[in-house]
Amino acid sequence: MAVAEIKTTKPQTGFAEFWFYFSRNKGAVMGLVVFLIILFVAVFAAFVAPHSPSVQNRDVLLLPPGWTQGGQWTYLLGTDAVGRDILSRLIYGARFSLFIGLVVVTLSVISGVLVGLIAGYFRGRTDTIIMRVMDIILAFPSLLLALVLVAVLGPGLVNAMIAISLVNLPHFVRLTRAAVMSERTKDYVIASRVAGAGTMRLMFLTILPNCLAPLIVQATLAFSAAILDAAALGFLGMGAQPPTPEWGTMLAEAREFIQRAWWVVTFPGVAILVTVIAINLMGDGLRDALDPKLKRS
C-alpha cells in the first residue's frame, strides 16, 4: 500500500526556522547585538574596565568626560564626586543589572509557571483561590508593592530581587494558566491519559512544553522590567546599597550634582535606557519568531 506522500525537501530544523523569523526583525537583531556586547563587557569586566570601580582618586573629583574641556582621556566618561571612574563603575554595574535580571526572571518564571500550571490544570477551587491572590498582587502599583516588601524585608540587593520577583509573578501565572487551559483539552493530552500517563507526567511532560513560547517572550520582557525596577529601588535607596556600582544606586548618589556635573547622572541613565531597549527589542523579535499566530509564511 502506498504512503500518501513523501516529502522531498529537507525540513528546516527548529533553530534554522527560529533564526529565519528572528532575523527578519532588524530591531531585534540590533537588540541582540547590543545585548551580547553588554553581556561580554559584564563577563569580562575585570579586563575591560580601565580602573577599579571602587578606587577613589582624590585628585580628580567630578572630572568631566574626556572629550570636553578640562577632561582627561584616562577617565573617558569622567569621575564622580569621590573620584571614581564612571566608565568602570558602569561596566561593573552591568554585572549587577544582568545578575538582577537573571535571578528575578528565574525566580518568577519557576514559581509562576508552577503556580499557573497547578491553577490551569486542576481548575475549580484551587484555581479560584490562586487567581484571586494574583489579582490582589496585580491591584497594587508594582513599584509601590516592591517598596513595601523591601521595607519589610530590609533594604539590600537580595531582598530587592525577591520583592521584584514577587511583583512579576502574576504575569507568569496568568500566562501559564491561559496556555495550560487551552492545551489541556486537546486530543493529544487525552490520548496520553488513555495511555496511562499520571498527573505529573501530563502536567510537566505533555502540556508544559507546548506552553513555553509565550513564556519565553514574557521572560525577556520581565528581564528588562526587573533591571528597571531594581534601578528604581536603588534610586530610592531601597535596593543595592552604596558603594555597590549598581546603576540605580549610582543615579541616587549623583542626584545632588545634577546641576553642576551632568555626566554623573546622564551615563548611568543612558546605560539603563540602552540595556532595557535592547532587551525589549529582542523580546519583540522572539515573539515574532516563537508565536505561531504571528508567523508569516
Partner 1 sequence: MTHVLEARNLTRDYHIPGSLFKKAKTVHAVKGVSFSVDQGKTLAIVGESGCGKSTLARIVTMIDPATAGDMLIDGNKVDIAKERLTPEMRQKVQIVFQNPYGTLNPRKKIGEILTEPLIINTNMKADDRRDKAMAMLKKVGLEEKHYGRYPHMFSGGQRQRVAIARALMLNPRLLVLDEPVSALDLSVQAQVLNLLADLQDEFQLTYVFISHDLSVVRYIADDVMVMYYGEAVEYGSREEVFSDPKHNYTKTLFAATPRADVESIKARLARKNAA
Three-class SS state of 80:
coil
Residue 186 binds partner 1, judged by CB under 8 A: yes
Residue 181 binds partner 1, judged by CB under 8 A: no
Residue 236's Cβ-count burial label (10 Å; 0-12, 13-18, 19+) is: middle
Residue 176 binds partner 1, judged by CB under 8 A: no
* Whether 31 contacts 281, CB under 8 Å: yes
**Alpha carbons 113 and 176: distance in angstroms, whole number:** 6
Task: For partner 1, give the closer residue by CB, 55 or 190.
Answer: 190
> H-type helices in 185-261, by residue range?
187-194, 199-200, 212-235, 247-254
Residue 4 binds partner 1, judged by CB under 8 A: yes
Closest distance of CB 136 from partner 1, Å? 24
Only segment of 33-41, 105-113, 180-188, 256-264 that touches partner 1 (CB under 8 A) = 180-188
Contact code string over 210-249 relative to partner 1, x by CB under 8 A: x---------------------------------------
Query: Which of 3-26 are b and which e, b meaning 16 or more Cβ less than 10 Å from the residue's Cβ?
Result: eeeeeeeeeeeeeeeeeebbeebe
Residue 190 binds partner 1, judged by CB under 8 A: yes
Closest distance of CB 18 from partner 1, Å? 14
Residue 209 binds partner 1, judged by CB under 8 A: yes
Residue 144 binds partner 1, judged by CB under 8 A: no
Closest distance of CB 206 from partner 1, Å? 6
**Alpha carbons 215 and 206: distance in angstroms, whole number:** 16
- C-alpha cell recorded at residue 183: 492545551
For partner 1, the binding residues (CB under 8 A) are 1-5, 7, 11, 186-188, 190-198, 201, 206, 209-210
